[in-house]
Amino acid sequence: MRRLTSGGEIDRNRPLRFSFDGRPLQGFAGDTLASALLANGLRLVGRSFKYHRPRGIYAAGLEEPNALVTVGRGEARCPNIQATAIPLSEGLEAWSQNRWPSLGLDLQALTGLAAPLTSAGFYYKTFMGPGQGTGAWMVYERFIRKAAGLGRPPKGSDLRSAESLHQHCQLLVVGGGLAGLTTALEVAETGISVILAERDSILGGAALSTPHDSPERTRRHALLAALRDLPTVEILTGTQVFGAYDHGCYAAVEEGSRPRLRLIRAERLCVATGALERGFVFPGNDRPGVMLAGAVRTYLHRYGLLCGARALVFQNNDSGLDLAADLAEAGAAVTLVDPRPDLTAEQQARLDKAGVDSRLGAKVTAAIGGRRLRAVQLEGPQGPDRLQCDLLCLAGGWSPVLHLASQAGVPPHWSEAHAAFLPGPLPPDISVIGAAAGDFRAMPDSKGKPETTWANPPLPLWRSGEGRTAFVDLQNDVTAKDVRQAHDEGFVSVEHLKRYTTLGMGTDQGRTSNVIGLALMAEARGRSIPATGTTRFRPPYAPVSLGALAGAETGSLFHFSRRSPLDGLLREEGAVMTHSGPWLRAWYFRENGSDLESATCREMEIVRQDAAISDVSTLGKFEIEGPDAVTLLNRLYCNGWTKLAVGKARWGVMLRDDGYVFDDGTTWRLGETRYLMTTTTAKAEQVLSRIEFLLATAWQDLRVQICDVTDHWAAIALSGPKSRAVLARLIGAQQAKELPFLGLLETALAGVPLRLVRVSFSGELGFEIYCPAHGATTVWRALREAGAGAYGLEALGALRIEKGHVSVGEIDGRTTLDDLGLAAMASRRKAFIGQVMAARPGLNAKGRKQLVGLVAETPLSSGGVLSFGPVKGTGAGRITAATWSPELGCYLALALLRDGRAQHGREVAVHDPARGRLCKALVRDPHFLDPEGVRQRG
């Protein structure tokens, strides 16, 4: 291999330093990593996935199956990037993958010795065979997971700043080759807005793979000059359109120092995505030095690189003729091998002039070598022969790139004349042109029409040799023998072939292998290729980084954090914060313990024995006012609200339309037509959205308004047997004493208006204190000075479990009122949402999972699976919430258990596979503490 002294699109005056596996190297501006590696004489660049066979660069674009590298190092590394798709930059660090301890000496290549035992489907037969059960898999899994994958995933986040753009145009042209450029120019000249997107960093497509004085290059320069002055066309280079979606929306990603996700909405789509070359299947066709002919021509004319000194071009169509002549003119010794018996006189004359040796009526049956190609075996009219060479160029025909058209709803159609899939019937808003439409060698004229078409179709030759190293899919080590084995074992449909053999399931998505694999299956079945079928294509066409898809919506911009008015003060008091939905809440307080467990136990003890406060400002709070406010509440809640007196509160439960429990909360009656509704933190936004939707659509006749005051009011829960004494120090003993259970009091503290309701979430005597957000710190400090301790979210949840109160774990969208033991709440005197559907037989059938309590002497965990015998499927139930109870001195849990209320008093097994625990628990009523409610009414 050597770099030519002139020619190509590289800038020899701008050398760039880079490294591969730590070895310092040099390339030029305009190189890709692949071309720079080849120019430095590196043929071995990677190892295959399954057998760790030495692999070299095979292609020049996104069809590259072998040269997958990791770019960068440390936490910012990015694995599995095709070297052919990486523009060379100063200081680029690249590393080979899937090898140990080094690329040259990969001990895992010993797996190739076991190739006969690891053919298609071996993982199913070996790890999940009859009689092995799960035990065998648990032994194998550790080794399989260690060997699986190619590169190591990054551990850090992508620190590049990404952005998302929305664009509109009348015509989107995908592909910057001559066909795409011609169409863009012709349409843009009429005043129609055009966006032309090209994955490559420069425009020209296949024209860049021709000599600098070729008609294609001349045509390219003319088109670029004409397009440069048109204001109606926008040209996007380095931009891959990877997906077609509904209503004319196309997704594209522009990778670079700042990735951009472009969502382009176009009235029409023009697909000019070109075609990909195929190789042949024969033993050793994966040796470093075996390359696609079109790729070799690209490296020659675009990157000024001669990929071999002794080259052999193996073709079944005319596309290898130009390459053979070009290589010979560049100084290589070239042999052309063609299974067809003759060439035209003009073709033969050109080859003779260039000094190319022709072997007609012959084919390559094997490639010979180890880490590099050394010779090929031929089979011709004169019998077998062996030729020395260091470069084998495969020209096995072309496959139009139909992925985008297929995603847009255009079915692929097999053409015998082209030996390829072409686009089927097109809708009026989509056109396919150039090589993507089957005009593989067409060069459009000034009117966008092809001057020449393929006059000599490819000979349908897919396999030219037999052997266990005759690969169909180079990336996944799928051989022709694997395809035949899939057929013999009944996996004959396209979908089954793909999954059983892993054909086309690599990062290249089978771009060079799918058609060959399908042809071999058709041959095995004795059917035509269209009768055998084809797979459809789904986005993305090429790998897209998650950072580009996320755009700027990462970190706090994606998972934003809402802070209560008490956030700063809680942090000053040593609160450890945690996320609860979008909110940051106090998890526990360091003053109560050095860690979560000790602090939670201490905070629970304070609530049970003394008095403590907790920030509950995150509850949803909505003011409802109007003559029909009570009608709205009666329709929303399953229980009745007509008799709720002014100055009183009531707990209510909402159902969804399908009869399942939606949310619960307390609503207060502030006046004759005015209410304050509170909801859970988790469902606040959903409840508000639901009510606003109903008032705007189904219930437009209701004279009622709703206002979200969640951020206006801060809320503090005061709980414990001494909580009345603490409150008395703030508002007076008389008011504190006279406030009844579920009673409402409006008063003030140091000029801060207060709304107090006597309600308990912990099971103890309790109050909820509401005040304007600006006065929250004043009220909190006053309560602390009055003798209240502080407790956090963890203790709040544990207190709820002791009392048997349902929450998010139990109201999970799959439980009914009866499941939760709340069936008596449903009113029979009024209609409410979900009433009819809740009466369905399936929601009241025997065998449903019902809320129960569990008591155990060993730890219980949320998610634990319950069973009364061997676990089958999801068992008899699951734990929804669990805690240690300092009050009762045991472990408690709430659970949903099949026919749970009938199981009280039974012992149940608790399986916790995530933690490797198995224990016993006693099933009982979920109200562990003070079931009569004496404490909270005291």
> Is residue 938 predicted with pLDDT exceeding 80?
no
> Is residue 916 predicted with pLDDT exceeding 90?
no
Residue 132: predicted pLDDT: 53
Give residues with Cβ within 8 angstroms of 200, minimum separation 6: 176, 237, 238
Predicted confidence band at 566 (pLDDT cuts at 50, 70, 90)? very high
Q: What is the mean pLDDT of residues 772-783?
A: 97
Q: What is the mean pLDDT of residues 315-327?
A: 94
> In angstroms, how far apart are the furthest CA atoms of the chain?
116
3-state secondary structure 164-195: EEEEEEEEEEECCEHHHHHHHHHHHCCCCCEE
Residue 126: predicted pLDDT: 65
Predicted confidence band at 134 (pLDDT cuts at 50, 70, 90)? low
pLDDT digits (tens, 9 = 90+) for 585-604: 999 999 999 899 999 999 99
pLDDT digits (tens, 9 = 90+) for 65-113: 999 999 988 777 888 999 999 999 999 999 999 898 999 988 888 877 7
pLDDT digits (tens, 9 = 90+) for 787-800: 999 999 999 999 99
Which long-range contacts does 409-415 make (Cβ < 8 Å, 24+ apart)?
A: 411/536, 412/534, 412/536, 413/530, 414/528, 414/529, 414/530, 414/534
Cα 631 to its chain centre, rounded Å, is 45
Strand order in the sheet with 78-82: 23-29, 11-20, 92-95, 68-71, 78-82
Q: What is the mean pLDDT of residues 738-750?
A: 93
pLDDT digits (tens, 9 = 90+) for 469-507: 999 999 999 999 999 999 999 998 888 898 889 898 888
Among 276, 268, 517, which residue's Cα sits nearest to residue 401? Answer: 276
Q: What is the mean pLDDT of residues 337-355?
A: 94
Distance from first CA to last CA of the chain, Å, rounded? 92
Predicted confidence band at 127 (pLDDT cuts at 50, 70, 90)? low
Q: What is the mean pLDDT of residues 255-270?
A: 90
CA atoms within 13 A on the CB side of 95: 18
> Is residue 573 predicted with pLDDT exceeding 50?
yes
Predicted confidence band at 555 (pLDDT cuts at 50, 70, 90)? confident
Choice among 490-494, 573-577, 645-649, 830-834 with the minimum mean pLDDT: 490-494
Q: What is the mean pLDDT of residues 23-48?
A: 96
> Is residue 336 predicted with pLDDT exceeding 90?
yes
Residue 447: predicted pLDDT: 47
Report the C-alpha gap between 276 and 515 in whole angstroms: 11
Predicted confidence band at 451 (pLDDT cuts at 50, 70, 90)? very low
Angle, helices 514-525 vs 480-488, to 10°: value is 40
Q: What is the mean pLDDT of residues 570-586?
A: 94
Choice among 506-510, 742-746, 826-830, 874-878 with the minimum mean pLDDT: 506-510
Report the C-alpha gap between 533 and 491 in whole angstroms: 13
Mean pLDDT of the chain: 92
DSSP per-residue letters across 571-589:
HHTTEEEEEETTEEEEEEE
pLDDT digits (tens, 9 = 90+) for 498-537: 888 989 888 888 899 999 999 999 999 999 999 998 877 8
pTM over the 0.85 mark: no
Q: Which stretches of 390-504 are assigned E, i.e. beta strand?
A: 391-395, 398-400, 412-415, 420-423, 430-432, 471-473, 478-479
Q: What is the mean pLDDT of residues 359-372?
A: 95
Two tokens, residue 225: 């000059």
At which residue do the structure tokens 């439409």 appear?
Answer: 437
**Of all residues in the chain, what percent carry a pLDDT higher than 90?**
78
> Is residue 845 predicted with pLDDT exceeding 90?
yes
By the 8 A CB rule, do 153 and 74 touch? Answer: no
Q: What is the mean pLDDT of residues 100-127?
A: 77
Residue 448: predicted pLDDT: 45
Q: Can you name the residues that pair with 877 across neighbouring β-strands?
A: 866, 897
Among 795, 815, 766, 879, which residue's Cα sits nearest to residue 663? Answer: 815
Q: What is the mean pLDDT of residues 861-890?
A: 93
Predicted confidence band at 455 (pLDDT cuts at 50, 70, 90)? very low
By the 8 A CB rule, do 286 and 275 touch? Answer: no
Predicted confidence band at 456 (pLDDT cuts at 50, 70, 90)? very low
DSSP, collapsed to helix, strand or coil, labels residue 854 as strand
Give residues with Cβ within 8 angstroms of 133, minimum separation 6: none
DSSP, collapsed to helix, strand or coil, labels residue 485 as helix
pLDDT digits (tens, 9 = 90+) for 398-442: 999 999 999 999 999 999 888 999 999 999 999 999 999 998 765
Residue 515: predicted pLDDT: 93
Strand order in the sheet with 310-315: 290-292, 391-395, 310-315, 333-338, 357-360
Give residues with Cβ within 8 angstroms of 125, minimum separation 6: none
> Is residue 742 predicted with pLDDT exceeding 90?
yes
Among 802, 799, 834, which residue's Cα sits nearest to residue 815? Answer: 834
Report the C-alpha gap between 238 and 260 in whole angstroms: 11
